[in-house]
Structure 1
Amino acid sequence: MNTRRYWRHFGTPRYDFIVNRAIEKLLPVVRYTEADFLRHGGGDFVDAFAPFAEEHNLYKRGPYVLVTDGMWGGFRHIAKARDFVYSTLYQSRFAAKNLLAVQRRLDPAKITVGMHVRLGDFGAVPTELSAYQGKFNLALPLQWYRTIANNLVRELGDKVQFLIVSDGTDKQLSPLLEGLNAVTTSDLPDSDCSDLLALANADLLVCSVSSFSATAGFLSKAPYFWFEPNLQKHPKGFYSIWGHEPGQTKRTSPTQQALKEANGKVLQGRGIAVDMLGNVPKHLASDLIANKERLLQQRDLIQYGVISIRPEQQAISTQ
């Protein structure tokens, strides 16, 4: 029934939800709630569900329907299923063809910054930044994306390229696209899954405040930017997306002490809060360059056939 027709991507019956609802009426139902999740330690679903299953003798009983809902576990809930989610998306009907088209448009030697700009079905851009705090599904100011792009170009020069994934029209995106020479995917049909994977494959991801961007960040191993006004700022010196979930406030919220190295520097994770001025961590540009250089095909022994001899190895062979 979803207007985006996601069933087409995975070859599933359009009306399989009818069967799913019917079996809840025909078979015994076991409900797994957030309270059960937290009572058994929270964190990863597999670890938290195992004692619940033992408690309800699920391993030995006959057919039943397990019902759970909500995002209360967050992406940590399904961390062990990351590879399964990635492979399922890649094997979807249109993904491989579209990803090949995207790869042909990108320069593999350049740092790819993937930007997800959600506009079409989101609410209008608020006039006050405070309206973003703790709220999803609001369009972000295009100026935020453009400021980040300008800052990255200033730092990286012609070493950077931009991949922009959006549901907006060219007219809506013109303030961002003008003079940026960005790669877009708006002309690719059925690009839901391929857009998600293309963003996940970028060297740096600039997120919208949406579950689509959050999923791309979950599938990615690269750093990603999040809109700072959307985050909850806590007095102990950290940000969170929601700020009110028990699993965060009681179990997983970091402290300044936990975020510090022995030398007193604050450790930066993959998720980076970026304000309207587009301020990014120091050394990010040099880190991106170093990582891209390391991954270049011509530096890969099994892909290119040669690698440089390290100075200490050269000295040993000379002796």
Structure 2
Amino acid sequence: MAKNKTKNYLKHDTILRDKILPQIKYNAAQSEEAEIDLSDENIHDSQLKMMFAVCHPSIAAEAQIALALRILCGFGIDEIASAFLTNKVTIHKRLVRAKEKLREENISLELPPPDEINNRLDAVLRTLYLLYNEGYYTSQNKNVLHKELCYEAMRLSFLLIENPHTNLPQVNALFALMSFHASLFDARLDENGGLVLYDEQDETLWDKELIQQGNYFLQQSSQGNQLSRYHLEAGIAYWHTHKEDTREKWENILQLYNQLLMLEYSPIIALNRTYALSKANSIDEAIEEAGKLQLAYSHLYHTLLGELYKGRDKQKALLHFLKALELAKTSADKQLIQRKINALA
């Protein structure tokens, strides 16, 4: 479309100049159409260069995501503000500061040299991971799932896979992780937009093609000797595409969480591990481990404890669910917790 518009502009401009300045004769070379390289290969190459530019380590993480949405995904400022649940002025300032940083640091639109790609790739993958997570679960928005953000993160990740210099194991692992999570989209929300927990999801709504896609790229990611967090998270997501509640499944998930925590500790990862611990070992052991996490500010923490206690002590379970309801921010989370309270009663 852009190429056709450019052709029309050049044609109309020629007519205009002929009418206004008929005395000037243009030679053949001057009147020829300008050749603009709009091939898929050139566009992809340009987007890759821009991806490395906007994900430069000197730019703040939230600004990297905003820049990626604006420049690489074509989102308007209104859409970005809606995704981050903030106003247009804040997003505009964020983008202006990021662009100023690009100028100050004199960041060029080039792919890093081969020996620097691995180091610079970490920031790119982190931005794509955060962009996907912002779509997969936005804790501050009334909507839990923004598929458009997830699909844009997948599209940009696949650009990295298509380029031989960036088609590396950790990139394949991230794309596998995204594919596994995307396969559950249709089962994750009910007809009213409410959140459906994993145990309650209708397996027939899972996208089998996306699961196969995830399996393929997870296998591709096994090449090389580097183990990233994306490998481990993709492995956990892989086991979640097996609905059978077997001991083997949860033992594998627990071991992957153990490795993930050793590689990169996070309280939320530790919380998720606790649920796997309750399935693989025992609920009592999981309750003991959960008590060590000091996540009293998180509705996820209290929801988990409510779930663990409901078969042991209904009063404690109710107190945790009520606290989770108080801390929850999204309407979908609140509806889910309220359903648990009603079921407990």
Fold conserved (TM > 0.5)? Answer: no
TM, length-normalised to structure 1: 0.24
The structure where strand makes up a greater share of residues is 1
The structure where helix makes up a greater share of residues is 2
Larger-Rg structure: 2
TM, length-normalised to structure 2: 0.23
Question: Which fold has the larger relative contact order, with Cα–Cα distance below 8 Å and residues 6 or more apart in sequence?
Answer: 1
